[in-house]
Structures are given as C-alpha cells and as structure tokens.
C-alpha cells in the first residue's frame, strides 16, 4: 500500500459491513494497490463484530508456496490480534482474509488457505467474515463453508498432528 493512500476510518460507522462479499471486494480493491497485487501476500481486514472495517493490514512476507505450518502461523498471528484488540464484553474482532497475488484463478492453494482460516477461526471462536482472492483482474469471495467438526483437523505442532 502506497504511503499516500489512507483510509478515513472515522467514517467507519457509516460504512456498509463487510459481510456482503461485494462490499468486502470493494474494500480490498480500495486498500490494495497494483504493487501490492504484483508482490502478493495476505491482506487481513480486521472488523468489529458488526463487520465494519477497523484496520486493514497487508503482510507481504508470506512464503509461496506456503505449507501447513506457515498457514497456521499466519492465522494464529491474525487471531491473536483479533483477541488482543477485542474486549471481554463483545469478544474478539471479526476477520476477512484475502490471498493477494498478481493473477490466476482460484486454485488448490487458495482452498487450503481458506480451510485453515475456517478451522483456525472456529477453534479460537473468532468470527471469520470471509476469505477472498485478490488479483490485478478482480477480487473474488470464496464460498462460505462450515468448519470441520472438532477432531477432524489437527494444526501442525498439535498432539493430534503428531499421531
């Protein structure tokens, strides 16, 4: 994101919630510039419980391809921020994740990020608003999916994954 590009976060209350995939895509397109898309990474849109954008963050130092450990580490980092900034009354912040890259259709790696995001957020009880893929051509929302039942997934480093 270029230095001269700033969000007017004071207008947050008037913003439409990012629960609408078209609104989330528009927010991603406004936040990410061409250089961000060419370089790739992950965009995290941290939202209040109603889905209003509070803070977008781009992480460009993401391995490509990312393995399960890197995916879980990235999601744990984002979830920790959601929990730290959230409060004990309203709970953690909500999250939109976008896989950012120059070009290409939705692929298996995107689906793997999507599943880890679903599972990690469900495990931590952090609301996942959506997962998107943002490219130079467009931003698209991946279909909403339910988390796998507890015990059907094991984050890397857990006792279950070692079995």
The tens digit of pLDDT for each residue in 80-120 reads 999 888 776 567 789 999 999 999 999 999 999 999 999 99
The model's confidence at residue 1, banded by pLDDT at 50, 70 and 90, is very low
How many Cα neighbours within 13 Å face the side chain of 145? 17
pLDDT at 84: 85
Is the pTM value of this prediction over 0.85? no
> How much of the chain exceeds pLDDT 70, in percent?
77
Give the pLDDT confidence of 109-155 residue by residue, as tens digits. Answer: 999 999 999 999 999 999 999 999 999 999 999 987 655 555 555 55
Domains identified in the chain and CATH numbers: 37-143 (3.40.140.10)
Q: Report whether 127 contacts 121 (CB < 8 A).
A: yes
CA pair distance 13, 54, nearest whole angstrom = 10
């Amino acid at each position: 994101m270029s230095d001269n590009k700033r969000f007017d976060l004071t207008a947050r209350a008037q913003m439409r919630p990012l629960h609408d995939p078209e609104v989330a895509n528009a927010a991603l397109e406004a936040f990410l510039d061409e250089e961000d898309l060419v370089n790739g990474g992950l965009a995290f849109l941290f939202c209040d419980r109603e889905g209003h954008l509070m803070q977008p963050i781009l992480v460009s130092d993401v391995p490509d391809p990312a393995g399960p450990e890197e995916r879980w580490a990235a999601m744990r980092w984002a979830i920790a921020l959601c929990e730290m900034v959230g409060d004990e009354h309203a709970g953690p912040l909500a999250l939109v994740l976008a896989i950012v890259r120059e070009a290409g259709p939705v692929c298996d790696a995107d689906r793997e990020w999507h599943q880890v995001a679903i599972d990690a957020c469900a495990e931590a009880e952090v609301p996942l608003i959506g997962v998107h893929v943002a490219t130079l051509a467009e931003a698209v929302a991946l279909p909403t999916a339910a988390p796998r039942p507890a015990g059907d997934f094991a984050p890397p480093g857990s006792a279950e994954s070692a079995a």
